[in-house]
Amino acid sequence: MTAAPLVKIAPEMPATKPSLAGLTRDRLKLALAAAGVPEKQLRMRVGQLWSWIYVRGVTSFDDMTDVSKDLRRQLADVYALDRPEIVSEQISVDGTRKWLLRLAKRSHEARPPEIETVYIPESDRGTLCISSQVGCTLNCSFCHTGTQRLVRNLEAEEIVGQIMLARDRIGDWPGAKGPDDDRLLPNAERKITNVVLMGMGEPLYNFDNVKAAMDVAADGDGLSLSKRRITLSTSGVVPEIPRWGEEADTMLAISLHATNDALRDELVPINKKYPIAELMEACRNYPGLSNARRITFEYVMLKGVNDSLAEARALVKLLSGIPAKINLIPFNPWPGTRYECSDWETIERFADVVNRAGYASPVRTPRGRDILAACGQLRSESQRLSAKDRNIPASP
């Protein structure tokens, strides 16, 4: 594949007013109160703005036609409806889109942090892969994000903001004009049907903000994504798994990648803290688990490391009794990695064993490879480039 052109959209932009886009109901209420909306009107105003922001996706207070002109002006004086700023947008030949986004800088940060969001269209659905942290504190040995230096939790609005921005860019609001480049968008009424927390970061290490964000995403009077179409992927933060199931109630994916503790300790080091047996126990007890609501087990195919037929059989055995789906992920190599992706025949033979055990078409087709949009490559290059390029000291 030839690489798609890199579109520079907003190389540097000055800080602006705080945005109301992405806020939870509580935060929106506080923001309106701070702008002078009287207490007795707050509920009604929150309801109005909620609908304009999350159902219509408006980006200007002027569009809020049932809000008085005075209030619109009052709000516009102090707030914006901005999304995270786009540093670059890339579109793959297969229609996959990747955005490098810049977040607002906090006072202690040397520069604004950057994250990545990826949109993967298929004929009947569109999946948005969103980030929950800048970088990741865990160091899975095959993952590029884990090598990133700068780490902080995203705020709920920064997580919701990724969904809003993607809907802007692919024209996924009611009545919106489609994008100029509408290559391979799904043939469905909504272009973003699924959200997966499989971008940068470990979402269960940012539990409260991710939970608040998914509540906004699933709000029936707003973005209205079904919780059955939201999947949280975790490397295995065992104590938070039951809590997530009870409080957030989304689908769950587990980054398993190995069937014995010795190997998993090496690949997914959090395994030393929460070994496989404890992880499986948490999965068996995941609230709402049934054949209709299975857990997805992700298994990255690493050549000569975890791809033997004995391991395929061990995988099937390990998952027996758990309503499960298996996703075999071809490893995405990155510069400097010591791993290689398994050969295609090896993946097929591994998949045969898994298929024969009753798991359907488990290999995840690589998408967006020409724009490095696949899992594990989400590590904003600018984090490394910027120190040199922008003349900023390297250490935070």
What is residue 238's three-state secondary structure?
coil
Q: Is 146 in the site for ligand SF4 (CB under 6 A)?
A: yes
Q: Among ligand SF4, ligand SAH, none, what binds residue 300 when CB lies within 5 to 8 Å by partner kind?
A: ligand SAH
Distance of CA 364 to the CA centre of its chain: 17
Residue 109: partners with Cβ closer than 8 Å, 6 or more residues away: 152, 396
Q: How far is the CB of 147 from ligand SF4 (least distance, A)?
A: 8
- Of residues 273 through 312, those in contact with ligand SAH by CB under 6 A are 298, 300
258: tokens are 């190995």
Beta strands in 92-191 (DSSP E): 97-102, 114-121, 126-129, 133-134, 152-153
Q: How far is the CB of 264 from ligand SAH (least distance, A)?
A: 11
Q: Which residues pair with 98 in a beta bridge?
A: 90, 118
Q: Which of 37, 128, 136, 223 binds ligand SF4 (CB under 6 A)?
A: 136
One of 85, 89, 116, 298 is an active-site residue; which one?
116
Q: Is 233 in the site for ligand SAH (CB under 6 A)?
A: yes
Do the Cβ atoms of 369 and 92 come closer than 8 Å? yes
Q: Is 252 in the site for ligand SF4 (CB under 6 A)?
A: no
- Token pair 């769950």 is at which residue? 252
What is residue 252's three-state secondary structure?
strand
341 is catalytic: no
Q: x/- binding map, residues 225-244, to ligand SF4, per CB under 6 A?
A: ----------x---------
Q: Is 376 in the site for ligand SAH (CB under 6 A)?
A: yes
Nearest to 131 by CA among 165, 108, 172, 81: 165
CA distances from 263 to 140, 211, 324, 361 (A): 12, 31, 22, 25
DSSP assignment of 25-47 equals: HHHHHHHHHHTT--GGGHHHHHH
Q: Which is it for strands 97-102 and 85-91: parallel, antiparallel or unpaired? A: antiparallel
CA-based angle 203:218:163, to the nearest 5? Answer: 65
Q: Among ligand SF4, ligand SAH, none, what binds residue 162 when CB lies within 5 to 8 Å by partner kind?
A: none
- Of residues 132 through 191, those in contact with ligand SAH by CB under 6 A are 136, 140, 142-144
Q: Is 143 in the site for ligand SF4 (CB under 6 A)?
A: yes
Q: Which of 20, 101, 138, 347 binds ligand SF4 (CB under 6 A)?
A: 138
Q: Is 234 in the site for ligand SAH (CB under 6 A)?
A: yes
Piece of 1-9, 45-53, 213-221, 232-240 that binds ligand SAH (CB under 6 A):
232-240
283 is catalytic: no
Q: How far is the CB of 172 from ligand SAH (least distance, A)?
A: 23
Do the Cβ atoms of 173 and 30 come closer than 8 Å? no
Q: Is 131 in the site for ligand SF4 (CB under 6 A)?
A: no
Q: How far is the CB of 267 from ligand SF4 (least distance, A)?
A: 9
Q: Distance from first CA to last CA of the chain, Å, rounded?
A: 37
Q: How far is the CB of 66 from ligand SAH (least distance, A)?
A: 40
Do the Cβ atoms of 102 and 84 come closer than 8 Å? yes
Catalytic residues: 116, 375
Residue ranges that bind ligand SAH, judged by CB under 6 A: 136, 140, 142-144, 198, 202, 233-235, 255, 298, 300, 329, 331-332, 375-376
Give me the residues that bind ligand SF4 (CB under 6 A), please. Answer: 136, 138-140, 143, 145-146, 201-202, 235, 255
